[in-house]
Amino acid sequence: MKIAFFDAKPYDKISFEKYASIYGIRIKYYEPKLNEDTVELAKNYDGVCAFVNDKVSSYVMEKLCSYGVKFVVMRCAGYNNVDLKSAVGKIKIARVPAYSPYSIAEHAMAMLLCTVRKIHKSYIRTKDFNFSLDGLTGFDLHGKTVGVLGTGKIGQAFIGICRGFGMKIIAYDKIHSCRDTVTYVELDTLLSESDIISLHCPLTEETYHMINSDAIEKMKQGVIIINTSRGALIDTEALINGIKARKISSACLDVYEEEAAVFYNDLSGLIIEDDTLLRLISLPNVIITSHQAYLTNEALDNIAKITVENAVKLMSGERCENEILFMS
């Protein structure tokens, strides 16, 4: 079996070769992202392996189909970038629904602690032998209310961590899926009562820009927003306005709605064209990581293992529990 692997990074190769060799799969690692311009690289392959910022549009899907590509294995949980409808009856799609919810939940907490205790600022100060504490006052997380939006695997892992910090937890989800006891509230209540809001629901038509100016208006003065889910859950302009109005005291963003053009690339030394991103980065109370939350050894190993197993099952026609089916 031959797989064309898009948006490949050196750490991907390390984890995937381990499992590819077990199953005798040949993987060609392509650095470019999969999109309308690069889809031709998938000619003569049985399958394609894609990631969060590849664009598996209907055009790409049609091209893959015409090349005889039989499956697309997403090496991620989210699949908002895949046009499922155009794959029906032609190309099978699978994903990795869970590989380490802890990796993302722990990153969300790492970002929260970083901003609350201003670790990012003190790290730079002490490197410059500046041992002043002026401006570094934080606050206790203990006793604060955290609103968890989306209580699936990652949301629940995050709730467990917050519980350890002695925080009050409220949650909003379309379905009350949390195994532990958690207080579910209406979305408006979560927005108005939370000191910290952490987003853990998928990007869908329904959740697109769910954090917009109306939602921010309802939030508590000084709220902290954490987004480790998908960038487009937040209307970035509204977020910036909320920060400028001093309503939002801090934003911790592992994802950004226009991230595809910049994240995962070393652009240091280049002029960034995205003015919105430039403004975000220039704000002192915004911490951005480059869609890094999943990046742990455990998660990378699980992603490679499950993705390769998905490919083997889809190729052989065996039932694949991780196949994504189009729901009209």
CB of 311 to ligand NAI, least distance (A): 19
Chain residues 171-190 in contact with ligand NAI, contact rule CB under 6 A = 172-175, 177
CB of 259 to ligand NAI, least distance (A): 10
Catalytic residue selected from 75, 95, 107, 291? 291
SS (H, E, C) the chain: CEEEECCCCHHHHHHHHHHHHHHCCEEEECCCCCCCCCHHHHCCCCEEEECCCCCECHHHHHHHHHCCCCEEEECCCCCCCECCHHHCCCCEEECCCCCCHHHHHHHHHHHHHHHHHCHHHHHHHHHCCCCCCCCCCCCCCCCCEEEEECCCHHHHHHHHHHHHCCCEEEEECCCCCCCCCCEECCHHHHHHHCCEEEECCCCCCCCCCCECHHHHHHCCCCEEEEECCCHHHECHHHHHHHHHCCCEEEEEECCCCCHHHCCCCCCCCCCCCCHHHHHHHHCCCEEECCCCCCCCHHHHHHHHHHHHHHHHHHHHCCCCCCECCCCC
Q: Does 207 bind ligand NAI (CB under 6 A)?
A: yes
Q: Does 327 bind ligand NAI (CB under 6 A)?
A: no
Closer CB to ligand NAI, 47 or 231, in the complex: 231
Q: Does 49 bind ligand NAI (CB under 6 A)?
A: no
Check if 142 is active-site.
Answer: no
Q: Which of 202, 264, 279, 323 binds ligand NAI (CB under 6 A)?
A: 202
Interface segment toward ligand NAI; rule CB under 6 A; list 1-9, 11-19, 140-148, 225-233: 225-233
Closer CB to ligand NAI, 45 or 79, in the complex: 79
Give the number of residues in contact with ligand NAI, rule: CB under 6 A: 31
Q: Which of 40, 206, 318, 321 binds ligand NAI (CB under 6 A)?
A: 206
Contact track, ligand NAI, 99-138, x by CB under 6 A:
--x--x----------------------------------
Check if 217 is active-site.
Answer: no
> Which are the contacts of 87, defined by CB distance < 8 A and separation ≥ 6?
61, 72, 93, 326
Q: Does 61 bind ligand NAI (CB under 6 A)?
A: no
Q: Does 70 bind ligand NAI (CB under 6 A)?
A: no
CB of 116 to ligand NAI, least distance (A): 20
State the CB neighbour count (10 A cutoff) for residue 61.
Answer: 23
Residue length of the chain:
328
Q: Which of 291, 300, 320, 322 binds ligand NAI (CB under 6 A)?
A: 291
Known catalytic residues are: 230, 259, 291
Residues near ligand NAI (CB under 6 A): 77-78, 98, 101, 104, 150-155, 172-175, 177, 200-204, 206-207, 228-230, 254-255, 291, 293-294
